[in-house]
Each structure stands twice: as C-alpha cells, then as structure tokens.
C-alpha cells in the first residue's frame, strides 16, 4: 500500500504508530520515563548537537508523544508536529520562534476568549504586540500589517460563534507581506478543514478538545506546513541565523521543510518546558482513532439542534454555519463541506439574565468551560470564558450578553433537543 494515499479514517487509526519493537504490543505503549540511557558518549554528543535524532529527556522527546506528533501531522498534511501541554502552550511555542521584543502580529478578533486574553495581556510581558483585524472585513488585515508584523493568526472555525474564516483570502495577505499564516484548527479538526491546502503555513491545536474528544486530557500541537521560506528575509533570526547553543547550526538550512517544528522543539519546548505527559499523549492517541466517527455525529446533531433553536419562540437568533441562511454558510460549503462543526452560539430573548438562567436549568447538558467532549456542553460566555473582556470586545468576539454557546455531543439528537426544550420552558 506504499503507493496508495491512505484515507483519513485509516490515517486516524494507523498513522505514526507501529507495533512496539520490544514487546510486539499493538497499541502504542505509555513510555512513562523522564530520561533515556545513551549507547555511548559519542551518541550522546550527537543527540545534544542535533546531529542525530533520538531521545534525551521527556521534556524534549518521548516515544509515546512522538507517535501522536506523527499522527496529527499526517492528518493535517504537514511535515512534522510538536506536542505541547495545552493549546495555549502551542501558541506560546509558535510565537516564541517568530517574535522578538517589539514585534507585532495580526490576529482575527473572532477568537477563543482565552486567546484574546493571552494576546492582549500575557504576550505583552515578552514585548509582543497584537493588532486586531475583523475576519468579516479582509481589508482590516491588510491595514493592520506594518514592517514590524511577523505573522497573522486566525481560527479556521472561530470559537465561540462557529464563524468560518476565509483562509485563502487571508493567506494572500500574508504572502504579500512575506509572513506566515498561523491557523488554529481546533474546532474544525483536519476532518472538516485542511488549512495547509488553503494556504496556511503553521497549524495549532488544542488537542484537549475534539482531537482527544473525551474531556479527559489536556494537550496541544504545533504542525509545520513545510512550505514557508524562513531564509527569504532576516525577519526570523531563530531559524535563519546560526544558533550559538548548537555549534552555529542554521536550523532552516539544516532541517529544511520541517525546520520550524525543530525550532519550536529545541529552542521553545526545551527551554519553556510545556511538555505533554506521555499518559495524556496515550489518551489523546486513543481518542483520535475515532475522530472521523465522532465528528460526523457531532455535525449531524449540531445541525438538528440549530434548526430546532432557529424555530423556537424564546430564541432571538442562531449562528451556525450549517444553516443555509447563515452568513458563513457559503464559506462552510466551500471549505468545510463535511459539516460545520459542533460548536455554535444562539441568543436568548431576555439577554444576560435569561442566558444565565438557561445554563442553570439544563439536565443532560453539562455547564462547564470546555468544548469538544462526547457529552453536550453549555456555557454563557459573557459571564465566564469572556468575562475578562470589555463589552465591546465581547461583542466583537461573538460573546455578547445574550449569547449562549453549545458544544453538541454525540448523544441521541432527540434527547439533546428535549433537554434544551425543558430548560427554555423555565425562562
């Protein structure tokens, strides 16, 4: 089968993993160790000097984690992956390789509230500055780019509103500026969207969500697309200049189309330390094997729930790209034809108080700050995940006072709808 392009479901099960060479175990073992014995002094020296690949310390590499990295890279169509402790750690690892103090990056204002907070506040401690653009108005991306801009960041399917972003159009802006486009593909997963095929250069994930899929493990991932020319300018010295800690190696020259993933590992993960535990890697690997089955069910259920809410007299509006009259439907049909995902928002008549009351009245749904679980989840973003934002920022991010976010699970659709029906009746 070496000449045949394997299908997505086959890759989800088999990519990256082989039977364990020591024991023959078919499932990838949990290599729960901190460090690895060297063959001899010469091998140790070659590993530390990046002259050979191998395991030194689990903060940097681990055999269980390596299978996860290879699997996600294969599903995304990238050249290499790097697992991290969380999605936020993945974002930090990416920008650590790209930005110097005083540099800027452009980000869509339709993002997960935690990312907005990370970009607006935490990144300022590194001297990194964000400029915001509106994904519904591509001219705002062009206007935000300056000589200090080193990257553009968007979500393929924006959290919390499920807005589909025009990745190819934004990729054109990035290419014209000679900077990479970073796409957070958490909500869509590679089952629904392939950002590299649409012009992205780097993909990040919170594996905590749909990839792991069972609400039991934190994890993040960086995937290198392998096509950006890091030597085209002097904008990215960590990749284009000799590294003194590695005997003057120029990473972009030495490692070619997976040099960004190497940089994020040996310059970022090594020193920032946000490594994924082998046990979490094992649980996420197990979850990914059923990713296509779960995403198909998630999308079918979400569409049924969205249609129900659209017709409900106590619901003011529904924002779900799978609905034919939604503003994002045309982009969804073009770039995510398998479905519009499982996360969307709707507005309850009665505003903030009604939204808070609704999340307190559900029984099947779990009221918690997560998405991508097999279970159906609900939250009122304005009072929780986006609470730290100003009212203007909440509205821009799709988390206004009346907004309720659903992450529709894989239960029977009739049961999900019945729970919302009884909860809405109480308001």
Q: Give me the mean pLDDT over the 44-59 stretch.
A: 94
Nearest-Å Rg of the Cα atoms of the chain is 22
Q: Is 178 left (phi over 0), alpha (psi -120 to 50) or beta?
A: left
> What pLDDT was estimated at residue 2?
57
- Tens-digit pLDDT profile for residues 63-80: 999 999 999 999 999 999
In the predicted model, what is the mean pLDDT of the chain?
A: 95
- CATH fold label, 8-287: 3.40.640
Tokens of 241: 């200049």
pLDDT at residue 354 in the model:
93
Minimal CA–CA distance to 340: which of 254, 408, 240, 278?
A: 408
Task: Give CA–CA dist 183/193, Å, rounded.
Answer: 11
Comma-separated ranges of CATH 3.90.1150.10 domains in the chain? 291-425
pLDDT of residue 4: 74
Using alpha carbons, select from 114, 126, 21 the residue that is nearest to residue 369: 114
Asked if 369 contacts 387 with a C-beta cutoff of 8 angstroms, the reply is no
- E strand intervals along 35-90: 80-84
- Rounded Cα distance, 134 and 120, in Å: 16
Flag whether pLDDT at 104 surpasses 90: yes
Tokens 């159906």 belong to 376
β-pairing, 129-133 vs 157-158, is unpaired
- Would you state the structure tokens that stand for residue 194, as one six-digit string? 């392939």
Residues 377, 409: Cα–Cα separation, whole Å: 7
| Cα 100 from Cα 315, distance rounded (Å) | 47
Residue 345 — left, alpha, or beta (φ > 0 → left; ψ -120 to 50 → alpha)? Answer: beta
Residue 393 is predicted with a pLDDT of: 76
pLDDT digits (tens, 9 = 90+) for 161-180: 789 999 999 999 999 999 99
Q: How confident is the model at residue 383 (pLDDT cuts 50, 70, 90)?
A: confident
In degrees to the nearest 10, what's the CA dihedral of 384, 299, 172, 241?
70
Tell me, what's the pLDDT at 400?
A: 84
What residue spans in the chain does CATH classification 3.40.640.10 cover? 8-287
How many helices (H) and strands (E) the chain has is answered by 18, 14
DSSP H or E stretch at residue 205: strand 202-206
133 neighbors 158 (Cβ within 8 angstroms): no
Cβ-defined contacts of 120-125 (< 8 Å, 24+):
123/95
Q: Is the pLDDT of residue 15 over 80?
A: yes
Q: Each residue of 174-213: pLDDT tens digit?
A: 999 999 999 999 999 999 999 999 999 999 999 999 999 9
Give the Cα separation of 369 and 172 in Å (integer).
Answer: 34
DSSP per position, 133-180:
E-TT-THHHHHH--TTEEEEEEESEETTTTEEP-HHHHHHHHHHHT-P
How far apart are alpha carbons 218 and 172 in whole angstroms? Answer: 33
CA distance 101 to 80: 27
pLDDT score at 208: 98
pLDDT of residue 390: 76
210/297 Cα distance (integer angstroms): 12
Higher pLDDT, 383 or 346: 346
Report the pLDDT value the prediction gives residue 3, as an integer from 0 to 100. 57
Read out DSSP for 261-282?
Answer: HHHIIIIIIHHH--PPPHHHHH
Helix (H) or strand (E) holding 353, with range, is helix 351-361
pLDDT of residue 237: 97
Q: What is the pLDDT of residue 176?
A: 97
CB distance 285 to 30 below 8 Å: no
CATH of domain 291-425: 3.90.1150.10
Residue 328: which pLDDT band, with cuts at 50, 70 and 90?
A: very high
Nearest Cα neighbor of 111 from 157, 174, 179 is 157
395 falls in which pLDDT band (50, 70, 90)?
confident
Question: What is the distance between the alpha carbons of residues 271 and 236, in angstroms, rounded to a whole number?
Answer: 18
């Amino acid at each position: 089968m070496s000449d045949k392009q394997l299908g997505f479901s086959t890759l989800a099960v088999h990519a990256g993993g082989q039977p364990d060479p020591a024991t023959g175990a078919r499932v990838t073992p949990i290599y729960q160790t901190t460090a690895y014995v060297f063959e001899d002094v010469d091998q140790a020296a070659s590993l530390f000097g990046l002259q050979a690949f191998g395991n030194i310390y689990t903060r940097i590499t681990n055999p269980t984690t390596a299978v996860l990295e290879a699997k996600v890279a294969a599903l995304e169509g990238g050249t290499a992956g790097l697992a991290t402790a969380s999605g936020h750690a993945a974002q930090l690892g990416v920008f650590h390789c790209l930005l110097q103090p005083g540099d800027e990056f452009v980000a869509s204002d339709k993002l997960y509230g935690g990312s907005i907070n990370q970009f607006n506040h935490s990144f300022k401690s590194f001297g990194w500055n964000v400029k915001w653009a509106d994904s519904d108005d591509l001219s705002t991306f062009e206007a935000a780019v300056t000589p200090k801009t080193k990257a553009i960041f968007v979500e393929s399917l924006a959290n919390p509103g499920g807005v589909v972003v025009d990745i190819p159009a934004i990729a054109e802006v990035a290419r014209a500026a000679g900077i990479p486009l970073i796409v957070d593909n958490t909500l869509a997963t590679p089952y629904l969207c392939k950002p590299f095929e649409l012009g992205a250069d780097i993909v990040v994930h919170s594996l905590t969500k749909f990839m792991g899929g069972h609400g039991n493990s934190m994890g993040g991932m960086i995937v290198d697309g392998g096509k950006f020319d890091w030597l085209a300018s002097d904008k990215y010295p960590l990749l284009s200049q000799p590294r003194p800690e590695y005997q003057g190696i120029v990473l972009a020259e030495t490692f070619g189309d997976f040099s960004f993933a190497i940089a994020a590992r040996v310059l970022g993960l090594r020193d920032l330390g946000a490594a994924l535990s082998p046990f979490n890697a094992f649980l996420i690997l197990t979850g990914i094997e059923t990713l296509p089955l779960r995403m198909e069910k998630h999308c079918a259920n979400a569409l049924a729930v969205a249609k129900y809410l659209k017709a409900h007299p106590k619901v003011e509006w529904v924002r779900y790209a799978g609905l034919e009259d939604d503003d994002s439907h045309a982009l969804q049909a073009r770039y995510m034809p398998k479905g519009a995902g499982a996360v969307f928002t709707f507005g309850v008549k009665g505003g903030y108080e009604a939204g808070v009351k609704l999340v307190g009245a559900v029984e099947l749904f779990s009221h918690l700050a997560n998405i991508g679980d097999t279970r159906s989840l609900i939250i009122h973003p304005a009072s929780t995940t986006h609470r730290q934002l100003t009212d203007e920022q909440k509205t821009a991010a799709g988390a206004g006072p009346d907004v309720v976010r659903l992450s529709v699970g894989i239960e029977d659709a009739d049961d999900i709808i019945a729970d919302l029906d009884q909860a809405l009746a109480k308001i």
